Structure 1
Amino acid sequence: MSSGATSTGTDSDSSATALVRRIAEGEITASEALEAYLARVDESEETIRAWDHLARDNARKQAEIADKARRQGAPVGALHGVPLGVKDIFDTFDMPTQYGTPLHQGRRPREDAFAVERLRSQGAIMLGKTSTTELATYAPGVTKTRNPHNPEHTPGGSSSGSAAAVAAGHVPAALGTQTNGSVIRPASFCGVWGYKPSFGAISRTGVLRQAPALDQVGVLAATLRDAGLVAQHMMVHDGRDSAMRPRAAPDLQAAADELPPVTPLMAFVKTPVWDQADSETQEAFGELAQALGEAVTEIALPDSFAHIHTMHKTVMEAEIARNYHRDYERGADQLSDSLRSQIERGREVKAIDYIRSIESIGALAAIADEILNDYDAFLTPAAPGTAPHGLENTGSATFCTIWTYLGMPALSIPLMTGSNGLPIGVQLVGARGDDARLFRMANWLVGAVSGG
């Protein structure tokens, strides 16, 4: 496994950050930029199948409106003219939201999800709905998206289409969600940046409810700065989401260009599932830790963390059983075997086990935050290896589970390439609420690996 080139977002004219600047300076119009992206869609979509719904005409109208506003000198937003993909579990008033299942075919919401509304208010153009796995779980959805690096391999899930669309250059960024590993894992498999913020940082109003104790909105992006640009403009308090608290949004775009004020120190954690990483990944992370020298210290997580995977499964499946009850009752025969099994196991979860698993989140997260008083971030794999061959399995989320359960911010950084030529990400995890620090650490890590 070798190190691969990556970027924080200043070197590509097609990055969202660069596109905002180019449109503002008159180098290109929003309509011209959109047509360039649509040309890339036409080049590869037949093979990749990243989109559940592509709104070409609607996007062109949005671009024309954006260009008219600029010509007239009207105020413009921070994402003026930038095309984005929206995972097909976010409500959109002008496009169907079908959750990757025939059970919701033709569903047309009346309003945008809060996150989509915020991005539109900043001038973003919604190019369409990216493919999701079935009800954002483990089985591939209706579209069966492929990995742009090799269409015989999975792109991961459940934010399959968002990761694939960004990797293929269809859009510079796209929305995803994560309840286990649904942003970080596909980002790793597709070789793009994946960002899962601190729990409660972005509203989930208008997003499919799977397991609200765990559900988080995230971003797949071509660059670190693009991930920050898109995410920070969704970080607006929404009283309808009980997980949110009023707080100022961090300037993640700026943090993506900054470095830690002092020499950083990362804690390399293999986690209790290290034996599930393939030998190539284990060797690569050992070499990475060695190459970073004194900036990395290997530590073991406390014994209490060994049970997190079981507790996460308890919470997730119990809440899936509750929230997907109607789908199960009216169309169990149209659900995959894996989702039916999750729902049926969730129905058998004992209340005492669920309550204990929920109550453990805060206590264990506090322990993790305390460990990070001595370190800037945890360094760990984003996935057990490169994307598995075949389209029926979206790959293991096991290296994401701990951090999702604890609500800690995480980034998948496209730094490595396997011997089969497929990418794999390096995962950085920060303390809750310290997302800007995590972005600085990612910027530092890219420079350290590339020798910059």
Structure 2
Amino acid sequence: MFKFKDTLSSLSATAARQALAAGECSTEELTQSCLDRIAEREEAVGAWIYLDPELALAQARALDAKKKAGDPLGTLHGLPVGLKDIFDTADMPTECGSAYYEGRRPIEDSTTAALLRRAGAVILGKTVTTEWALSAPGKTANPHDPSRTPGGSSSGSAAAVADQMTPLAIGTQTGGSMIRPASFCGVFGYKPTFGSISRRGVSMLARRLDTIGVYGRTADDLALIGDALMVHDPEDWDMLANPGRDLTGAMAEGLLDSFKFAFVRTPAWDQGEPDMTSALEAFVKGLGDVVQDVTLEGVFDDIVNTHKTVIHANVATFLGEVAEKAPEKMRPETHGRVDEGKAISAVDYIRALGLAEAQGQALDRLFDLYDVILTPSAAGQAPQDLSITGNPAFNGMWTLLGVPAVSVPLLTGADGMPIGVQVVGRCGDDARVLRAAKWLWERYGGQEK
């Protein structure tokens, strides 16, 4: 396993922001440090599908000039960000990991890209996604062991943050595409409450599930970039009316002495690998009386399949036409997912949607008794196989229910690879989830820098 270097690119976003504000470095110097790291490690990691160093440096210089002129600065001023290659950008290609979209150049920014620019971020480039943000992997390898998957579909974003190529990156989750890569790569990953961040200008996969998420090196990083992106956009019909939650303000209030945790193994527990299940159970036991075992049963028994029904029916809807018109430009794994969706009847889909509503109502009642849930982020360590992205069984249920989730890099597996602990909360209670994630990290993980 490689050792990280103590350079500007290794700083958390929160620490880098403080250094920029204090004049300890310039945006150009920070951006150049990230580009140097990419030049050193990209051949091994393969996190980026599009990178234009001069474009990145031009953004950085413009931001430095803005600061020098005394102009108002955004909350992400000077911070480099990687953007998953399913977000439209007016100055970069957006190809969605697909041969069908090869060479595609959007004419305008997605809302997310526009908000990043408005907040003063430097969009370094586009990070690798699996094909159509599904399961056919791209070129990215796990930074900790290049023989292992980084997870997917937000493969490049998670790997770039883990490898110290950028302090922040954007991804999406429809099944487990934010939380699982965070676990495999050993970084903080955050899937907000459904409807918190606009999806305008983002390749759609499943309208009922698609959620924008963020990667960082600390829980405070997630709050910082989350606040910049949680702005209502009427062009995304599924957005919350008031998505902003002042996450940074909540984090600044200080941590509670304790939280009331529910340890939920989930109906997928038998799919967990022995080193993950034993490590998580030992960790939970070490928390003492602040945590209680809770079993999700009854209406939750078939929740993994409920999510599968919803996602595959939507995949067939959004990608079925491409599969028919240009089958040679779609990989076999994606064709298989489309075919699975086509086999789902309207009756089964409507039944699944109704069951998901009942599951959501039942879960919400659980949060009357507990602050947050602790549960696996992934089935185990990153598999030693670059042709797959790992098992999403521990993620899809939370995506289906639209609840906020954070993966905290707290555990290691039998081979020394990272394993995350997933913190899940009530819809809209994102601040509590992030505060609990920080509480766990500061007591059981390490010191944020």
Count of matched residue positions in the alignment of Structure 1 and Structure 2: 440
CA distance in 1, matches of 2:253, 2:145: 34
> Does the alignment pair 1:113 with 2:110?
yes
Aligned mate of 2:377, from 382, 405, 423? 382
Residue equivalent to 1:8: none
Residue equivalent to 1:221: 216
Instruction: Indicate the larger mover: 350-359 or 103-112.
Output: 350-359
CA distance in 2, matches of 1:338, 1:80: 40
> Does the alignment pair 1:184 with 2:163?
no
Residue equivalent to 1:352: 347
> Does the alignment pair 1:32 with 2:52?
no
Are the counterparts in 2 of residues 70 and 76 from structure 1 also a CA contact under 8 Å? yes
Residue equivalent to 1:332: 327
Aligned mate of 2:45, from 42, 48, 72? 48
Aligned mate of 1:445, from 436, 440, 443? 440
Are the counterparts in 2 of residues 84 and 124 from structure 1 also a CA contact under 8 Å? yes
Aligned mate of 2:101, from 100, 104, 114? 104
> Does the alignment pair 1:160 with 2:155?
yes
CA distance in 1, matches of 2:250, 2:160: 25
Task: Calculate the TM-score normalised by the size of structure 1.
Answer: 0.94
> Does the alignment pair 1:195 with 2:190?
yes
> Does the alignment pair 1:306 with 2:293?
no
Pairwise mapping of residues 13-24 of structure 1 onto structure 2 (< 5 A)? Answer: 14-24=11-21
Q: Secondary structure at the match of 1:426?
A: strand
**1:308–1:284 CA distance, 2 compared to 1 (3 A):** same
Residue equivalent to 2:312: 317
Q: Secondary structure at the match of 2:169?
A: strand
Are the counterparts in 1 of residues 9 and 166 from structure 2 also a CA contact under 8 Å? no
Instruction: Indicate the larger mover: 69-78 or 258-267.
Output: 258-267
AA matched with 1:404: T
> Does the alignment pair 1:58 with 2:45?
no
CA distance in 2, matches of 1:202, 1:151: 32
Q: Secondary structure at the match of 2:73?
A: coil
Are the counterparts in 2 of residues 41 and 170 from structure 1 also a CA contact under 8 Å? yes
CA distance in 1, matches of 2:103, 2:446: 51
Instruction: Indicate the larger mover: 46-55 or 319-328.
Output: 319-328
Q: Secondary structure at the match of 2:421?
A: strand
CA distance in 2, matches of 1:447, 1:70: 33
| Deviation at residue 364 of structure 1 after TM alignment | 1.5
> Does the alignment pair 1:273 with 2:268?
yes
Are the counterparts in 2 of residues 259 and 443 from structure 1 also a CA contact under 8 Å? no
Instruction: Indicate the larger mover: 392-401 or 339-348.
Output: 339-348
**1:451–1:108 CA distance, 2 compared to 1 (3 A):** closer
CA distance in 2, matches of 1:258, 1:140: 41
Instruction: Indicate the larger mover: 360-369 or 219-228.
Output: 360-369
Deviations 1:354-387 (A, max 9, x none): 1121233332112111101110111011001000
| Deviation at residue 255 of structure 1 after TM alignment | 3.2
| Deviation at residue 447 of structure 1 after TM alignment | 2.8
CA distance in 2, matches of 1:34, 1:358: 45
Residue equivalent to 1:243: 238
CA distance in 1, matches of 2:126, 2:111: 16
CA distance in 1, matches of 2:348, 2:430: 31
| Deviation at residue 337 of structure 1 after TM alignment | 2.0
CA distance in 2, matches of 1:38, 1:420: 30
| Deviation at residue 105 of structure 1 after TM alignment | 0.3
CA distance in 2, matches of 1:156, 1:134: 13
Residue equivalent to 1:3: none
Are the counterparts in 2 of residues 92 and 112 from structure 1 also a CA contact under 8 Å? yes
Are the counterparts in 1 of residues 261 and 370 from structure 2 also a CA contact under 8 Å? yes
CA distance in 1, matches of 2:326, 2:419: 37
CA distance in 1, matches of 2:85, 2:10: 27
Instruction: Indicate the larger mover: 282-291 or 170-179.
Output: 282-291
**1:65–1:361 CA distance, 2 compared to 1 (3 A):** same
| Deviation at residue 123 of structure 1 after TM alignment | 0.4
**1:386–1:236 CA distance, 2 compared to 1 (3 A):** same
Residue equivalent to 2:67: 70
| Deviation at residue 248 of structure 1 after TM alignment | 5.3
CA distance in 1, matches of 2:358, 2:211: 19
AA matched with 1:93: A
Instruction: Indicate the larger mover: 302-311 or 174-183.
Output: 302-311
Deviations 1:79-126 (A, max 9, x none): 111110000000011000000011110000111111111111010010
Runs of 4+ in 1 over 6 A off after TM superposition: none
Residue equivalent to 2:5: none
Q: Secondary structure at the match of 2:76?
A: coil
Are the counterparts in 1 of residues 9 and 34 from structure 2 also a CA contact under 8 Å? no
**1:216–1:368 CA distance, 2 compared to 1 (3 A):** same
AA matched with 1:134: E
Pairwise mapping of residues 110-149 of structure 1 onto structure 2 (< 5 A)? Answer: 110-141=107-138, 144-149=139-144
CA distance in 2, matches of 1:242, 1:260: 35
Are the counterparts in 2 of residues 292 and 448 from structure 1 also a CA contact under 8 Å? no
**1:235–1:412 CA distance, 2 compared to 1 (3 A):** same
| Deviation at residue 259 of structure 1 after TM alignment | 4.9
Deviations 1:308-365 (A, max 9, x none): 1112111111111111123202222332222111111211211111112123333211
> Does the alignment pair 1:95 with 2:71?
no
> Does the alignment pair 1:421 with 2:416?
yes
Residue equivalent to 2:4: none
Residue equivalent to 2:393: 398
| Deviation at residue 258 of structure 1 after TM alignment | 4.6
Q: Secondary structure at the match of 1:324?
A: helix
Are the counterparts in 2 of residues 176 and 183 from structure 1 also a CA contact under 8 Å? yes
| Deviation at residue 399 of structure 1 after TM alignment | 0.4
Are the counterparts in 1 of residues 197 and 243 from structure 2 also a CA contact under 8 Å? no
AA matched with 1:34: T
**1:332–1:286 CA distance, 2 compared to 1 (3 A):** same
Point out where structure 1 has 5 or more consecutive residues left out of the alignment. Answer: 1-10
Aligned mate of 1:234, from 225, 229, 232? 229
**1:133–1:451 CA distance, 2 compared to 1 (3 A):** closer
